[in-house]
Amino acid sequence: MIGIRIEQLSKRFGETVALDSVNLQIEPGEIFFLLGPSGCGKTTLLRSLAGFCTPDSGTIWFGDEKVTSLPAHRRRTGMVFQNYALWPHKTVAENVAFGLEELRVSRAETARRVGEALASVQMEGAAGRNIHELSGGQQQRVALARALVVRPRCLLLDEPLSNLDAKLRMEMRTEIRRICKEAGLTAVYVTHDQKEALSVADRMAVLRLGRVCQVGTPEEVYRAPVSRFVADFVGETNFLEATVQGEQTVLAGETVFQTASSLAGMSVGDPVTLSIRPEAWRISRTASAASTNTLRGRVEEAVYLGEVAQYRVQAGSFLLKITEINPRRAAAGETFTLNAAPEDVVVLQPA
């Protein structure tokens, strides 16, 4: 397995800046996600790693080898595409063997490696089947086997689950992680699906307008976003405009909030934005004597979903999104007391 290093990578398409001085370090054996909205540069970055797109400036390293100018066929990467890109006139085994034929691997070795690759994706019994006979999930497994059979130095995945239904996407998330870990592969995975990234990634980079906004583990990015964009893109959140009151305290509306976020370098009266996730609020249906980190509000809308309920609560000047786990069904007009722990009150500095 290899690490990947990206240094000051930039790419323009006419007036559009696709990548703007991107720097990333991906560790050997890591499943690393590139996450962001359409047009943020994540697919351009992946194609640059594969050798399908030539950057205007910057360097790409696979381990100690500089591959920036190396053609795609010499980079030894495995690519899994959004549309699978399988040959409809070839059998499963023939599709998987295609890359080995291009490498002029012997027939005996090809047969052995195709069998191993199909076994790794739990498709060993389907070697002779035609592609049109397979379900979407089975086709995705074949696409993975085709990428794995050439024994790539790294695996590149471009939104590989976007064409599957919701249930199958969840199943394949687990499978892709298992396959990558069992094969000891360094994998770079592009998606715009936050749940996919949070459930599969070892680490992730959130991109916007060709720039890296934040890099971290799923928990770090979700629980400690560094900007309003990251907090809003990765999951849902409530934004409360506030001002600094003192050390570890801010004032939002008429409520003082204690926070575990650092306020270093900030002065009393400085404007900030608080990010508090919907599920971070603790709900009480009785009044509370507590004042810090506590709001009292009225339910404007309630949606009961069984294991969770989602509410919109008007609390003073704030209209909040609240999620209750294992809820007792609530109705519009009910009054809640809401409290947030200091570690769940994230302070974002103005952009």
Residue 1 near residue 29, CB atoms below 8 Å: yes
Place of tokens 């600094």: 244
Pairwise CA distance, residues 314 & 297, whole Å:
5
What are the respective helix, strand and coil percentages of the chain, to the nearest 5? 30, 35, 35
Mention every residue, 6+ apart, whose C-beta is less than 8 A from residue 21. Answer: 8, 9, 10, 58, 211
Residue 79 near residue 50, CB atoms below 8 Å: yes
Question: Is 0.85 topped by the overall pTM?
Answer: yes
Q: What is the pLDDT along the chain (351 residues), one digit of tens a residue?
A: 799 999 999 999 999 999 999 999 999 999 999 999 999 999 999 999 999 999 999 999 999 999 999 999 889 999 988 887 889 999 999 999 988 888 888 999 999 999 999 998 888 889 999 999 998 888 988 998 999 898 899 999 999 888 788 888 888 888 889 888 988 899 999 999 999 999 999 999 999 999 999 999 999 999 999 999 999 999 999 999 999 998 899 999 999 999 999 898 899 999 999 999 999 999 998 877 678 999 999 999 999 998 999 999 999 999 999 999 988 777 889 999 999 999 999 999 765
CA distance to 19, 221, 274, per residue, from 214 (Å): 15, 7, 18
Mention every residue, 6+ apart, whose C-beta is less than 8 A from residue 47. Answer: 53
Place of tokens 């399988």: 86
Interhelix angle 166-183/136-148, nearest 10 degrees = 20
Q: What does the block give as tokens for 266?
A: 């900030």
Residue 283 near residue 302, CB atoms below 8 Å: no
Sequence ranges of the chain with CATH classification 2.40.50.140: 236-348
Sequence ranges of the chain with CATH classification 3.40.50.300: 4-230
Q: Could you tell me which residues are beta bridge partners of residue 62?
A: 4, 65
CA distance to 109, 176, 238, per residue, from 160 (Å): 28, 10, 31
| Superfamily name with CATH number, domain 236-348 | Nucleic acid-binding proteins (2.40.50.140)
Cβ neighbours of 257 (radius 10 Å): 23
**Spatial strand order in the sheet of 31-35:** 77-80, 154-158, 186-191, 31-35, 203-208, 211-216
Question: For the domain with range 4-230, which CATH number is right: 3.40.50.300, 3.40.50.170, 1.20.120.1200, 1.10.3720.10?
Answer: 3.40.50.300
Pairwise CA distance, residues 248 & 267, whole Å:
11
pLDDT at 288: 74
